Structure 1
Amino acid sequence: MIQKSMLTKEITQKSEWDEAIGLFQEKDIYFTYDYMQPFRKNGDGEPILFYFESYLGKAAYPFMYRDIAESAHLKGKIPNRTYFDISGVYGYGGPLVEVNPLYDFSSVIEILKHDFQEIFSAYCKEKGIVSQFDRFHPLLNTHEFFADYCTVTPNKKTICLDLKSVEFLTQNLTSGCRNKIRQAEKNEITVVVNDRVETLEAFKQMYHSTMTHNQASDYYFFNPHFFDDIKLHQSSHLIVANAYYQDKIIASALILSFDHFLHHHFSGSLSEYRHLKPNNLLFYEIAKWGSEQGYQSFHLGGGHESEGDSLFRFKKSFSKSEPKDFYIGKKLHDPVKSDFLAQIAGKFSNGPSDYFPIYRS
């Protein structure tokens, strides 16, 4: 039953957005207005924060609102501003949820879920939203609130380092990782964490080189101003870390900080220097710095595709602890329109498809 005391807001302005996110005890950079802006400018959609509040608690759910007519397979085939879908921004999202402390969590969470889901489903119908895709935050377990609302499935594993002490961090390295760190030190690699922001120019070149080397999809090359937009909108949360060899930057990482979290955002290196093992020392020094600065976790993320790929194995070498589960969510708000759009796009499914929504595949 919908309560009269419920409050809902569609928030698109920075001041109101930041105020709403600030109401939550547990939050992270991925839920902030400023985090969304470089991706908005990259063409990923329009950021919206859907805020819900009742006497039982509150929820804040950020997403990108996208005009389906702008997708590659449907451009020029359907009218603009008619069909829409929503997606979590690159990174990790889902809903932030907090139960009113006057109530027992277990006794009211299902009611809070029901009320939110009922109102949000009506909102999606009003906004012409055909489908919804989520990338849930593996450290905040945001998938739990949507578990019976959409199809939630484990997608990958991610690696998170416990930074409670430098000693613990070092003991938790695998022997192979320790050996590569020692090799980098013998090779006279030095690392500067929280380096000058001007070194972002060197990072951009290395990132592009790395994406080319990895044969990454077009999306990961971003627009020419993307990393400048990160610097513009996230300057107070951005940490640039560089590995140097003979005064030359040969590996670099962009790290985001928020509350007690550090997150690996993007990284790149020069292929001709990879034999010097700069990345092992680079990430180790970032983790050490984070521990010394009082951060609790350094989230490295996952691999390109699975736990079997080289990127995941590299990240896993920094921790003997169990990886975190990363979940995704899929929901069709209007299956009929989804099928209609898939037909126009020439995307026909003869069975379950990994790509969602299929009309964008």
Structure 2
Amino acid sequence: MKLTASEIKNDFDFDEYLKIVNSFDFVNPFYRIWAGNIDDVIDERLFYFTLKDEHNKTLMVMPFLFIKIPSVVDGVTYYDVKSPYGYSGPIFNDDVTDDVFISFWTLVDAWYKEHHVVSEFLRFSLNGNYKCYSGHLIPTLTNVKGEIVSEDLQWNNFKSKVRNNYRKGVSENLNIVFVQDASDQESIAVFHNIYIRTMQRINASIEYHYALSYFQNIIELSKNDFLLAIVYKDDVAISAELILISGDTLFSYLGGTLSEYFNLRPNDFLKIAVIQWARAHEYKYYILGGGRKDGDDLYHYKKTFFPKDPDEMYFTGRKITNHQIYQKLNVLLGTADSGENYFPSYRHGMK
């Protein structure tokens, strides 16, 4: 087997990456949409590993950011690796064996050693692509995952307040519109307006105040594996959600609700309408994600829609590939005794 690392420096390089990604049977759209702000990602040096067998067949692909550590140690410049934001880790087809995973991680670690990589932080997908991982696997966040079942059973499974909130939305004559046309710029702008107003209301970090062009780009990159759900009260759009689709599964990505319409319960109305849409289109699962931390109010709200379904754990991977330099960086940057669960710890002061 042979591992190669290719850098994405421009749109042509990204198109070559997409050709490889799209050759797999099922690809989570997160592997495409992190390029919504492609220039920002390229600035951090974006690469992807490709693993091929002796017949030149591509077995795995994994994007990663190759980031320079600003402090030089003993005259040597070092780097660390992290995955792009969102679900990531290696892409593979179902016929890939454990031996291939072991070979992949072994070759990746050898590449790290050769290229002065000190540490690695990976965000894995929910499909078990952390298999045979050579670092420390950390259960990071509980995700609410619901199975789409028969209408009667689904309705009975909802918590009673969800059913009541949906009835409230119906009584207020709420209406929902579904969009799967990437050229529908008006609907994308409507979604963006609700999203930005929500980010402002909750005082979200500026990094989450995405420009309209970001959503236009990721919807285009998703190759129609997306669904925009927009709830209206009369002619006013009051709640919206961007959903990404992978195989038989819907992923709730980003959304928002106008606070002046909270009393109409539009988000509950939206979630149940999406479930109805998913059932009609023969999808099997709807993943709502988790809270900001495990067990918080946001998690418990999402859980009311699927209280009887098992959750899905989101894992991150942490790996120190050069322990000696890792410790030297901690001392050099004054983070050796920070006492906080931040990885890599030497970047704690660079946040």
CA-CA distance at 1:161 after TM superposition: 1.9
CA contact (8 A) 1:66 1:84 kept: yes
* Corresponding position of 2:63: 63
* Corresponding position of 2:297: 310
Point out where structure 1 has 5 or more consecutive residues left out of the alignment: 1-5
2:146 is equivalent to residue 161 of structure 1 = yes
2:5 is equivalent to residue 10 of structure 1 = yes
Task: Return the TM-score normalized by structure 2.
Answer: 0.84
- Counterparts of 1:119 and 1:177, CA distance in 2: 49
Percent of aligned pairs sharing the same letter? 23
* Corresponding position of 2:344: 357
* Corresponding position of 1:293: 281
Instruction: Mark the CA change 1:317 to 1:100 in structure 2 (over 3 Å): closer, same or farther.
Output: closer
The CA deviation string for residues 20-43 of structure 1, in whole angstroms up to 9 with x for no partner, is: 435544542223xx3231143344
2:167 is equivalent to residue 182 of structure 1 = yes
2:320 is equivalent to residue 322 of structure 1 = no
- Counterparts of 2:169 and 2:138, CA distance in 1: 39
1:114 partner amino acid: I
Instruction: Mark the CA change 1:43 to 1:113 in structure 2 (over 3 Å): closer, same or farther.
Output: closer
CA contact (8 A) 1:243 1:249 kept: yes
Q: Which of 32, 35, 38 is the equivalent residue of 2:36?
A: 38
Greater shift in the superposed pair: 250-259 or 52-61: 52-61
Instruction: Mark the CA change 1:350 to 1:162 in structure 2 (over 3 Å): closer, same or farther.
Output: same
* Corresponding position of 2:227: 239
Instruction: Mark the CA change 1:236 to 1:114 in structure 2 (over 3 Å): closer, same or farther.
Output: closer
Instruction: Mark the CA change 1:295 to 1:99 in structure 2 (over 3 Å): closer, same or farther.
Output: closer
* Corresponding position of 1:83: 78
Instruction: Mark the CA change 1:10 to 1:178 in structure 2 (over 3 Å): closer, same or farther.
Output: same
* Corresponding position of 2:188: 200
Task: Return the TM-score normalized by structure 1.
Answer: 0.82
- Counterparts of 1:209 and 1:132, CA distance in 2: 35
CA-CA distance at 1:197 after TM superposition: 4.1
* Corresponding position of 1:151: 136
The CA deviation string for residues 293-337 of structure 1, in whole angstroms up to 9 with x for no partner, is: 122222111111122x22212211110212111111111122333
Q: Which of 83, 90, 95 is the equivalent residue of 1:95?
A: 90
Q: How many residues align?
A: 335
CA contact (8 A) 2:3 2:108 kept: no
The CA deviation string for residues 328-358 of structure 1, in whole angstroms up to 9 with x for no partner, is: 111112233333444454433354x322112
Point out where structure 2 has 5 or more consecutive residues left out of the alignment: none
* Corresponding position of 1:214: 202
- Counterparts of 1:46 and 1:38, CA distance in 2: 15
SS of equivalent residue, structure 1 residue 96: coil
CA contact (8 A) 2:144 2:289 kept: yes
Runs of 4+ in 1 over 6 A off after TM superposition: 55-58
* Corresponding position of 2:245: 257
Q: Which of 102, 119, 140 is the equivalent residue of 1:114?
A: 102
CA contact (8 A) 1:136 1:328 kept: yes
SS of equivalent residue, structure 1 residue 236: coil
